[in-house]
Amino acid sequence: MKKTLSFLFFVALAFGCAAPEEVQIDYTAMSDAERLEAATEMARSTIMVDGHVDLPYRMKVGGFTLQREILDVSVRTDGGNFDYPRTKEGGLDAPFMSIYIPAGNQAIPGASKALADSLILMTERLTETFPDKFAMAYSPADIEANFAKGIISLPMGMENGAGLEDDLANVEYFHSRGIRYITLTHGKDNLIGDASYDTTGTHGGLSEYGKQVVEEMNRVGIMVDLSHVSDNTFRDALAITKVPTMASHSSVRKFTPGFERNMSDELIQAMAKNGGVMMINFGGTFIDSAYAAGAGMVREHLVNYMVDNGLSRSDSAFVAYAAEYTAANNPFPTVERVADHIDHVVNLVGVDYVGLGSDFDGVGDSLPTGLKDVSMYPNLIAELLKRGYSKEDIEKICYKNIFRVWKAVEDYAAQN
């Protein structure tokens, strides 16, 4: 990491001036307010990609239509973590829309693929309805073009390879539908391989079919996403892939011992050796093992208070008390803890292998103080600047690292 942020001020060569001098600005010496202002400008002027936002499934649950009284994310919404105004405030330019397939769909033939198709259509409908605000994106070049127009890009990744069903041809089909990464598993083992949340170990890693899936994803140009997979599946995928991989929304296991859903130092190093990128999840349970215990104690107290006082969750008296009590007994980690995860990856393998994968709209109310929604990315950038990250570092974390992986996958597919 560099300890200063550099800007080049160019002098017109017509006047015969010397080569431009590099002016060093030390953001570590700024006040918090000054640094946040600089971080906000940086967030809004730099392309920012988030590896995982669960908006499509939120729209499905919320009953997406064109009527604003149901759910219209083109305007500020009361709930959720994502909408257009807040996205612009936070400087987010390309949230990967999660085409999420719940593990329960795996038991019903055809249900996973049908749901994936419906969520893709829903995402496309969003861009068709509000073309001045959102646009589809199928490549880094698309994101750059949309960024130049001030439009939010909506690239897509499928969360859970169960959407492929048992048909290898569906890899190419979903590429044609715009899917640019596939998370191989989700909450349960599937036909592709074993999942981190499952203890069954159905295949001992990737299945034979799963190995074919990884090879086919390489061939057609879909990034292999290793979030949610078991350690054995992770290792198997790295042994087979011919291109860099990614983890769209995972954090560091060091801070959550025993939580296999996060990545161990061994896996972080292996992904870096592969040339991949790890995109940090913001969810409380992902970034701090103390969160679950603290949140559980708060929930237990509030349930007891509600029962003892004959209240319901919707009663104004309970809502007010719950807000006050939670604030006074805040169980949430802070934005600093997310920066700790980034620091750990950078110190372990370097700044070229880390990105942002918030899991907004997918982790409920567990998000840390200072990163509650998409408007708050500048808080994280400010914290990184405070720790000595340079403008070049921030650009790598925000988009250059994932672009590098994505372009490598595109290039390999173009040659095969």
- Give pLDDT, residue 20: 52
- Give pLDDT, residue 70: 54
Residue-range domains of the chain with CATH: 5-288+348-414 (3.20.20.140), 290-332 (no CATH)
| 141 CB-near residues (< 8 Å, 6+ apart) | none
- Give pLDDT, residue 63: 57
Residues of the chain predicted below pLDDT 70: 1-23, 62-70
User: What is the secondary structure of 5-20 as a DSSP string?
Assistant: EEEE----GGGTPPSP
- C-alpha 88/C-alpha 373 separation (Å) is 12
Sequence length of the chain is: 416
Helices (H), 31-110: 32-45, 55-62, 84-90
Decide if 162 contacts 105 (C-beta within 8 A): yes
Q: What are phi and psi of 30, to 5 degrees?
A: -75, 160
- C-alpha 208/C-alpha 110 separation (Å) is 21
Scored b (16 or more CB within 10 A) or e, 314-327 reads eeeebeebbeeebe
Decide if 234 contacts 228 (C-beta within 8 A): no
- C-alpha 21/C-alpha 218 separation (Å) is 44
Helices (H), 46-83: 55-62
- Give pLDDT, residue 21: 52
Q: How far apart are the first and last CA of the chain?
A: 37
| DSSP run (H or E) holding 96 | strand 94-100
AA identity, residue 131: P
The tokens of 344 are what?
Answer: 């750990």
Residue 219, exposed/middle/buried by CB under 10 A (0-12, 13-18, 19+)? Answer: middle
How far lies 231's CA from each of 198, 267, 382, in Å?
11, 8, 33
Neighbours of 120 (CB within 10 A): 21
Decide if 188 contacts 228 (C-beta within 8 A): no
Decide if 205 contacts 177 (C-beta within 8 A): no
